[in-house]
Structure formats: C-alpha cells, structure tokens
Chains A and B, each alone.
Chain A
Amino acid sequence: MLGSEEYTKSREIWSLNCAKCGKCIQICPTYKVTRWEHLSPRGRLILSPYVEDDRELVKSIFSCLTCGICEQVCPSNVEITEIIEKKRGEYAKQTILPERHVRLLNNMVEKGNPYGDDIETMEIDGEVDVIYYPGCTSLAREREIFESTVKILKSMGVSFGIEFMYCCGSTSLRIGGDLSYAERNYRRLREVVERTKAKTLLVNCPGCYRTVKKDYEKFGGLGVRIMHITEFLSENAEMLRLRKDGIRVSFHDSCHLARHMGIVKEPRRVLSMVSEIVEPEQHGMESFCCGGGGGVRVSYRELTREVRKVRIEQFRRTNADVVVTSCPYCYRNLKNGADGLIIKDLTSFIAERLEE
C-alpha cells in the first residue's frame, strides 16, 4: 500500500468511474464565474454520496445548470447530469431544498405548473396532422412565441390543433421533483394522439422537447413523431415564404436542444433562409449556457446573472444585429440581461419575416 493509510480510505466517487482528472472544471459555467471547485462537476461528483442539510453542499448540488457541457469533455464518459438529477431527487425526498425550489414544487402541486399561474387550457376538436403543444413559458410568460408559432403554422397551411392541459413536468424532473407530473401529461398526450390521429407532436420549448421525447420513453412513448419547432421548420422549409433582409444573426443554442437532443443544424438552416449567421465563440454542441437552466435561476440568481453576463459578452463580440434563440426560457433569461443587445425567439424572428 502506498502512502499513509489514512489517505486511502475507500471513496464512493470511484464507483462512478470518474478519474478525477479535472477536465470538466474549467469548462463549467458555474465554476467559471465562481472559481469554487465545489461548484464544478468534479466537485459535485465528489459530494454526490451525501444528502445533508448543509448550505454550501445544497448549493453545490442545486446550482448545477444541467447544461451538460462537462459531458462533452469528460474522457471517462461520466453521466454527470443524470447523477446530479438523481441526487436532487434524494434531497427532495428528504425536503432538503433551497427555499425558492420549495415554492416552485408547491406551485406544481397547487397549480400544475412551475409559475403557479392559472394557465388557460386548450383542447383539440377532431382530427389533425400536427398537435402543437406550446408549453408553460410560451403561454404564461412569453406569449409572442406562442402567437408567432400559430402564425407561422397557419401561413404554411399546416393542419394543426393546439393542446395544453398540463405542464410537461420538465422543471420538476430537472430539480428533483417526482415523475407524477410528467406521467400525467404523458397519459393526456397519448389520449390526444389517439383521438386526433396526429402524426406529429410539435413543441417550442427544448425542455418540453427533451422531456416528451426522452423522459416519456420511461412510460412507453407516445407513438407519434415528436419535433421541435426548428426541426419542423427546417424539414418543411419549402412551405415557408420569407423575406430575406440580410440581417446579421447570432444563434444561441439552448443546452437542452443542442447537447441533450443533438439539434444544431436545423435552426441554422431556417435562419440562413433570411439572414447571415455569425457564430459566437462557443456554439453548437460546445454552446455556453445562458445561466437559467437546471432551476438555478430560481434559487441562485447571482449565478444566473454572472453566467448570463459571460454569454452576453460572447454575443457582443460577434457584432451581430440580433441574437436569436429557440428556447422560451433562454429567451426570457437572455432578454432580462441583454444589456443593449436585441434578443429574439426564432419563431418571432421568422414570423416577422413571413411574406404577406
């Protein structure tokens, strides 16, 4: 045995095949803005065996943006995001949570959505080709995304109906809440799919997209093609009649859309129909988080602000006229810290350029 025995006590982290090389540290947004190792992926993994009511420990686990950039560079293929989400579940079970997370989970219990609002419900009557599921943020907070999407679909002549009864359950899942909200919406959507005989389910929000397409697999899948709006527009580009105005656009890849779901080319294909694309230094699968993901904006706003500042500076250096994203939550967050930059959601940007 090498060295002194007290240094070699067994550690649970090794069961995660993390070599502790540290490659994930520098690239992590929360480390980048704090330079605290316990707010980095390696730090979080080292702390992952514990569930304790310790302020800094709770911050370590709940300040992960679940952006997944660490998994892009991890040579050992450690599934860090999944480990963190599971660990959050254990904290939630013991009701050890940051204060505002408790409020958010209560909103889910009382109102069925993370905002705690009475969001209007929408139901499809009859058969359609496409079910459009707008999600909570597009309906309750960034309504223009919902309205723009409807405008675009109508201009394309798509046979669609709008369905919204329940939240998809994404926020709850990402911050350690239970599966029940996701399962409730899964059952509802499966019933709607069967009733409307739709072939496609369309979503605006990458959080909904990941949850409906990936997490609902646990329940058996929906038996319908699930598409993000950027995928749908890219695939049906010939149905779009757009005015090209040569504006310089920089695109913000949402973590859930790019890294979690691999959608990178599609939004660029759509945007290149009307504008010139200038990339920020981190884009595509290496995109830098807006700072709002993983529930961090709820309880650790100072981290969200600092990470967002880094991202906004990356866009400022592109000298683009407009920054476009295709995530309602990223849109909302970037807009709040835009500092003079023009931020648009892709649907609004495209709807503004539809030929009459």
Chain B
Amino acid sequence: MVPEKFIDRLEDVVGSDDLIYNSRVTEVYSTDASPYSGRAVAVVRPENPEEVSEILKLANHHSVPVVPRGAGSGTSGGAVPRNAVVIDMKKMDGIEVYQDDMIVFSEAGAILHDIKRSLCKFDLFIPPEPGSLRIATAGGFVANNGSGKRGLKYGSVRNFVAGINAVLPDGKIVRITYRTHRSPGINHQVFVGSEGALGVITGIYLRAIPIPEEKKTYLIPLKNTTEIEKSLKRILKVLPDAVEYIDSKSSSALGYGEEEFIAVEVFGDDRYAERVIDSLGGISIESQEEKRFWERRETLGAEIAKKGSRVYAGEDFAVPFSRLSDFIEKIKDVERETGSEIFVYGHLDTCNLHPAIVSESFEDSMRAAGRLADTALKMGATVGEHGVALRWEFLKGLDVYRRLKYCLDQKNILNPGKFGL
C-alpha cells in the first residue's frame, strides 16, 4: 500500500481533478495492448515537467514505484504497473515545428499522427511509422525505440531523436535541447529505448525530412515461402523505402486473396527499382487503393482478432536474415502443434516479423507465444521494436543495464519489474 500522506501530497501537486485513487477505474491503467495486466495504485496526470519532477521527488522520498504511461499501445507490457503509481503523460501533448531547422519539438503525450499532420503542413515528415501511428504517443514510441516501416533505409526513431527533455528518478529536470540534424554524446540517447526505466521523457526534439514528391507501392506475389530470401536480396539491392511481408492468412484478412506477398514502397521516380520489381512479377497499387492498403496494414493485428471471440497476442521478433524462411516455416510448425492460428506479417527490410496469435483461450495463446519465443531464441532472434519490458529473457548485456539503472535510480522506483529488475 502507498502511504495516505503520499497521495495527499500528489493531490497538492496536480489537484484532485488529475488524480485517481481508490477506484476500480485504475484497472484501465493497469494494462496496455499486451496480454499482461498488473495493478495501478493511483493515476496522476502532470501538465508540465515541473509537476513530473515534484511527483518523482515524492515517489523517491516515499520509495513508491511509478510507471510512465503514453497511449498504452505497447504489446510487451512496458506500461503495465506492479503496485505502482501511473504517471499518465497524455495531457502534455504540445507540438511545435521549427520549419527552417526541419525539427519538431513534441511533448511526450502528443500522438504520432498529430505530429505527422503538423509536419505535413510544412512538407516534412519523419520516416519511421508504426502500425499504431494514430494511437501511440511520441514518448512511448521513443522510449521503445520504435520503428515500424522503413527501418532499413532510415533506421528506428533513435536516428531521428535530436534532443530530449526528461526528469530523472530523483526529480532532477534535464534539458538536452538540440535543434540540429547532428548532436553529440549519448546523454539524450540513453533515454531512447529505456522503456521508462531510467527517466520520464517529457519532450523530444525530432529530426524531420522533406516529404518526397512522388511515392509508389508495389505488391509482389510469392509462390512459396522458400523463395522469399532470393526475392528479398534482389529487392533490397534497389534500396527501397519500405518492404513489408504479408503471409497468406494476413493477405486473406486484408482482402488480397490467398497468396502471400511482399509490399514495397519506393519514393521518387525510380526506374531501376521499377524494372527489378517488374521482373519479380510486382504490380503497382495507386491512389485510394494504396492509401487503403497502408491504413489497413496499420491495424492488421486488431483486424485478425475479429476472427471470432478469440484471444489475440501480437508478437515481435527480429530474426537474422539468413533464418527468415526457416523461421516462417517453424511458425507454421508451432501453429500445427499448438492448434492456435498464427498470422505472420512484418517489416522485411529489417527482418522484423510480427506473428499474431489467435486462439480460443488465453492459456492457448500464451502457450503458442512461449513456443514461438523458444524457437526464435534458438535461431538467434531477439525482440524487434515492441520493447523488452516483461520479455526480458531476450535482453543481453543485462549487467550493463543494471549498473546504468543503479546510477540513475538507486531506489528502483521507475518502472520496476521490467528488464528482469
């Protein structure tokens, strides 16, 4: 239990309108888009870094664990609290575009799609785009070092983080404010991918680039999974902007027939890319059809869940390129053995696959997820972009992380229980 005095002091900081305590509704803040749920003892909504600082000073003083929360769209349980106070960041959602610097400053609670729309007014964009674009917050995306599509050519969001404002577990506010397209040191990068365990990100300076004038999407059918590596090698040589894999089940869910395929996005008028894609039997999709495809691809995971009242678990594995078709075949073995249905799709340019499990019960889905994880680990795979959080069996170099965590958060109040600590 948290001391009543602590709750009273929290109320002094944010006011009673932005504090929930002793109510069933805290259960909403005890889960995210993962299958996991924990327990939020209270929910608090700061409006500025100073309030975040006051909350953390109090938490540190009373040794109360806290978990920062964005949209709760993570699938690894990063925002799931274990008897902790949840700091809901969604009221801090300011966005400011520095057009001439091609930089956008976003508060942690801003929705990625709102950032995209703000940049679009100045013909700018940030290439990494997750499927949760319309849901996820900037803070959550950066804290998970997310990527989504376009990973090979542009990398993850880490490559676009120019500076960060954060509050350390003892309440110290740090402002690492670069508005440049190059920035020195690892200071701000420490928070990227830290999953809310090293500091609470309050604002991010992100690099943007000009929106290309032309953009094309091609769909390349695959006759069988074994030819995927051969085709991918040829596709990657043209350095396309995004390459996505859709297996036959997902294809059917999207309304594109029963055949598995590769979707390729190419910016600009690239004749060479077009010739290579053409030789692989690719066809282009345009205007509304293209828009529809990418929009439905965004929420493919949830579309899959509508197949009956079944339990959905969205997985995330970065696989060595050499094991790609092997891994997809193994997923089918797991599907046969466990009786769960598994849809496979993902970002082929980074070999980051998202098997989506649906089964009749929570236990069945979790059993299939466990089998997939065992298989992935044996193949040298790791988590891709959904965060480590409660799936810490994938984390290597835990000792380095443990030392870093101890330096910044000696009382282990920030998002404890994640990364196995």
Residues of A within 8 A of B (CB): 1-4, 6-11, 14-23, 25-26, 35, 37-38, 42-43, 46-47, 50, 52, 54-57, 60, 74-77
Contacts and interface: CB of A to CB of B under 8 A. Distances in A.
Q: Which of B20, B134, B363 has the most CB of A within 10 A?
A: B134
Contacts of B29: 37-38
| Residue from A7, A60, A76 with most neighbouring chain B CB atoms (10 Å) | A7
A228 B98 CA distance: 51
B181 interface: no
A57 B25 contact: yes
Contacts, number: 135
B310 A17 contact: yes
24 contacts: A3-B389, A3-B391, A4-B417, A7-B36, A7-B37, A7-B80, A11-B31, A20-B32, A21-B299, A21-B301, A22-B71, A22-B72, A22-B73, A22-B132, A25-B135, A38-B20, A38-B28, A43-B25, A47-B25, A56-B25, A75-B306, A76-B303, A76-B306, A76-B312
Given A2-B373, A21-B299, A22-B135, A54 B37 contact: no
A316 B80 CA distance: 41
A19 B113 CA distance: 20
B260 interface: no
Contacts of A56: 20, 23-25
Given A21-B132, A56-B20, A1 B305 contact: no
B23 A23 contact: no
Interface string B1-39: 000000000000000000010011101110111011110
A182 B161 CA distance: 58
B82 A6 contact: yes
Contacts of B45: 35
Given A7-B390, A15-B309, A19-B305, A37 B88 contact: yes
Contacts of A7: 36-38, 77, 80, 82, 390
Contact of B23 (A4, A11, A46, A57): A57
Contacts of B257: none
B210 interface: no
B302 interface: yes
Contacts of B390: 2-4, 7
A42 B111 CA distance: 17
B370 interface: yes
Contact of A76 (B37, B111, B305): B305
B306 A20 contact: no
Interface string B224-257: 0000000000000000000000000000000000
B204 interface: no
B268 to A, nearest CB: 31
Contacts of A6: 38, 82
B134 A23 contact: yes
